[in-house]
Chains A and B, each alone.
Chain A
Amino acid sequence: MPGAAQFILSGAEFSYPGSSRKILSGVDLEIRAGEWVALLGSNGSGKTTLLKILSALLAPTQGSSFICGGGSERPAAERSARCAIVFQNPEDQIVASTLEEEVAFGPENLGCPTEEIRGRVSESLAACGLAGMETRLVSSLSGGQKQRLALAGALAMHPAAILLDEALSMLDPQSRRAFTEIIAAEHSKGKTIVQVTHRLEEIRGAERVLLLKEGKIALDMRREDFFKMKGSELSELGLELPPLERLCEGLKEGGLLPEGCAPEICAVEKCLNAAFGR
């Protein structure tokens, strides 16, 4: 159950200094602790900027923001520590040469004592399936492993929220699955997840979907309802229902599947077997 409000934006606007173009033109948004929110929008809709505001890396040029327990009166560094962000390209995030040094970077910045740093390093690497690889070289890792390392570095901050900026888009399908499983595990531990992506397969774990259009929130609905949208409406947004969901919609329309059947392989298999008397 989502808890207290963790992110509140009121009338938030943003434009870069010197530019008159408003990237965000009035965003009103509330995200509660423990929610898994998907943030969608076409390229240039301001998704990344919104995510940076949510991680306290940027402050809105107009309007107010309350991020992870503090308004803009709390130091940005403190707020950043509460909301960890993972970007698309692991090469743009990793600063150290070995895994343990990389994961230690965050806790070192926070001034944690050495023993605690060591503890956070082992626990974060283990959470990301990289246990025992402390002294391995970063350059010997695959792309999927590097991105998990970036995630481990974020988890070592003990954040209340994890923000993902197209974090899976450079990964192969197997790595995407592994990464999503880790996110789901963190979510079940109570962490808030805000996920920017354009691949709807990745947001199956999300509870809520927000759509950003021309700098404003144009849509805010539950994930189940979002997936019920017509294919034509979604393609206007540059999105496409994954094949399994499309199949389920078609089967439900044709009466082969009950409305309540979840768009998961096991559930659909069961319902269809029942429908055909197997």
Chain B
Amino acid sequence: MARADKVAFGQFIPADTPVHALDPRAKIIMATAVIVLLFVTRSAATFLLWLLLLLFLSRLSKIPASTLFSSARPVLILIIFTSLLHIFATPGELLFRIFGLSATKEGFMLAFLISLRLALLVMYASLLTLTTSPARISDGLEGLMSPLARIGVPAHDIAMMITIALRFIPTLFEETSRIIKAQKSRGADFETGGPMKRARAYIPVLVPLFVIIFRRAENLAVAMEARGYGGGSGRTKLKPLRWRRSDSAAIALLSALSALIICGERFLAK
């Protein structure tokens, strides 16, 4: 069977690099910071700087740039759609007309910037999931959320749910693909027809998938209980989180870089 080692969107690739070794809490903080800053960025030049940083990190983490770029593929449709919206809906200098819609120069520029932002957003998020195993991400989230546990946020449970959800992404992809093939073999047509017809064509795929998912959830809960799982209290860790100087250094570096980039942009905009 095709246990092809496909790199699904954001799937973890183990390796021995400084990026992989960073504390997941640091990585989550940095990824979140970059994503927030991407929303604040205005100029194309700044986006290019973020892109350069991304390429540098890709080198450092031994993740090929092509893998990062292809992680943006799922949002390609969104990017195209948003671009079209901005090209035709932004007032400004008219470039050409088509089907009664006006494409403007400002529209193209805005579309370009927004596309860059969306793509970079996804790629930075992917960099996080590609260099950090789901268990580590969830440990990191749990660690970051633990102060909130005092006010009743179920940090551990949320973290466990994320771990399990992420671990099942490749499995569910495979099972969905198998069900689609089985129904195609019975003459199901997923290509032709209008949106309503095509949506209905997926019922013979979604129903069996949900049956599998629910049954699996039941069985998995039993298996976890059989291995002594009873919630988060009293659990120890194979790889306890240990904040090191390299983590503080990484955050300091990133803060400095970000400050430079944002200030630089403000300065040049004047």
Contacts and interface: CB of A to CB of B under 8 A. Distances in A.
Given A91-B171, A98-B14, A80 B225 contact: yes
A108 B228 CA distance: 9
A111 B164 CA distance: 20
B32 to A, nearest CB: 22
Contacts of B229: 105, 109
A92 B216 contact: yes
23 contacts: A57-B222, A77-B228, A77-B230, A80-B228, A81-B227, A81-B228, A92-B223, A93-B219, A93-B223, A94-B167, A95-B164, A95-B167, A96-B134, A96-B135, A97-B133, A105-B227, A108-B237, A109-B227, A117-B237, A137-B12, A138-B167, A139-B3, A139-B171
Given A142-B3, A153-B227, A92 B219 contact: yes
Contacts of B220: 92-93, 95
A113 to B, nearest CB: 6
A111 B134 CA distance: 21
A108 B238 contact: yes
A137 B5 CA distance: 10
Contacts of A118: 238
Contact of A95 (B11, B163, B215): B163
Q: Size range of the interface on A?
A: 35 or more
Contacts of B236: 107-108, 111-114, 117
B135 A87 contact: no
Contacts of A106: 227-228
Q: Which 4 A-B pairs have the closest CB atoms?
A: A104-B238, A109-B228, A92-B219, A106-B227
A154 interface: yes
Contacts of B134: 96-97
B213 to A, nearest CB: 11
A97 B166 contact: yes
A43 interface: no
Interface of B: 3, 5, 11-12, 14, 133-135, 163-164, 166-167, 170-171, 215-216, 219-220, 222-230, 234-240
Interface string A129-143: 000000111111110
A94 B225 CA distance: 12
A11 B134 CA distance: 46
A157 interface: yes
Contact of A109 (B171, B222, B235): B235
Contact of B237 (A77, A81, A89, A114): A114
B136 to A, nearest CB: 9
Contacts of A13: none
A104 B160 CA distance: 14
A24 B237 CA distance: 39
A135 B135 CA distance: 12
Given A96-B167, A97-B133, A142-B3, A114 B238 contact: yes
B238 A95 contact: no
Contacts of B234: 109, 111
Contacts of A92: 215-216, 219-220, 223
A161 to B, nearest CB: 12
